[in-house]
Amino acid sequence: MAKAAEIFVETLVKAGVQRVYGVAGDSLNGITEAIRSTDGIEWMMVRHEEVAAFAAGAEAAMTGALTVCAGSCGPGNLHLINGLHDCQRSRVPVLAIAAQIPSAEMGTSYFQETKPEHLFLTCSDFCEVITQVEQIPRVLAIAMRTAIAKRCVAVVVIPGDVLTRECSSKAISLGIDQAAESVLPPPSALKAAVEILNGTKKVTILAGSGCANARAEVLALAEVLQAPIVVALRGKEYLEYDNPYFVGLNGLIGMTSGHRAMMGCDTLLMLGTDFPYSQFYPTDVKVIQLDLRGEQIGKRTRVDVGLIGDVKYTLRGMTPLLKAKKSGHLEDSVKAYKKVRKELDERAVIGKEKAVHPQYLAKCISDAASGDAVFLCDVGTPTTWSARYLKMNGRRRLLGSFNHGTMANALPQAIGVQASHPRRQVITLSGDGGLSMLMGDLLTLRQKKLPVKVVVFNNGALAFVEQEMKAAGLDMYGTEFAPQNFAKIGEAMGIRSWRVDQPEKLGAVLAEAFAHNGPALVDVAVTRQELSLPPMITAAQAVGFNLYMVKAMLHGNGSDVLDMAKTNLWR
The active-site residue, picked from 18, 112, 447, 541, is 112
Q: What is the 3-state secondary structure (H, E, C) of 508-533?
A: HHHHHHHHCCCCEEEEEEECCCCCCC
Active site includes 112? yes
Q: How many CB atoms lie within 10 A of CB 540?
A: 11
Residue 536 pLDDT: 58
Architecture of domain 187-336: 3-Layer(aba) Sandwich (3.40)
Active site includes 464? yes
The active-site residue, picked from 10, 49, 50, 466, is 49
Round to whole Å and give the CA distance between 69 and 35. Answer: 13
Round to whole Å and give the CA distance between 203 and 499. Answer: 48
Please tell me whether residue 124 adopts helix, strand or coil conformation. coil
Annotated domain spans of the chain: 2-167, 187-336, 349-566
Please state the separation of Cα 14 from the chain's center in Å.
28
Active site includes 486? no
DSSP class of residue 309 equals: S
Round to whole Å and give the CA distance between 536 and 534. Answer: 5
Give the gyration radius of the chain's Cα atoms: 25
Which of 564, 376, 400 minimizes the C-alpha distance to 467?
Answer: 564
Which of 28, 38, 45, 29 minimizes the C-alpha distance to 6?
Answer: 38
Q: How far lies 512's CA from each of 208, 356, 364, 537, in Å?
A: 35, 18, 13, 41
Residue 568 pLDDT: 42
Fold equal for 187-336 and 349-566 = yes
Please tell me whether residue 315 adopts helix, strand or coil conformation. helix
Whether 526 and 517 have beta carbons less than 8 Å apart is answered as no
The active-site residue, picked from 139, 230, 247, 379, is 379
Active site includes 178? no
C-alpha atoms less than 13 angstroms from C-alpha of 426 in its C-beta half-sphere: 29
Query: May I ask the CATH class of domain 2-167?
Result: alpha beta
Active site includes 49? yes
Residue 540 pLDDT: 53
Residue numbers of the chain with a pLDDT score lower than 70: 531-571
Round to whole Å and give the CA distance between 393 and 371. Answer: 8
Whether 155 and 87 have beta carbons less than 8 Å apart is answered as no
Round to whole Å and give the CA distance between 83 and 85. Answer: 5
Burial class of 342 by CB neighbour count within 10 A (0 to 12, 13 to 18, 19+): exposed
Percent of the chain with pLDDT over 90: 86
Please tell me whether residue 24 adopts helix, strand or coil conformation. coil
Task: Tell me which fold the domain 349-566 belongs to.
Answer: Rossmann fold (3.40.50)
Q: How many CB atoms lie within 10 A of CB 319?
A: 18
Q: What is the DSSP string of 476-510?
A: P-S-BPPP--HHHHHHHTT-EEEEE--GGGHHHHH
The active-site residue, picked from 246, 280, 464, 486, is 464
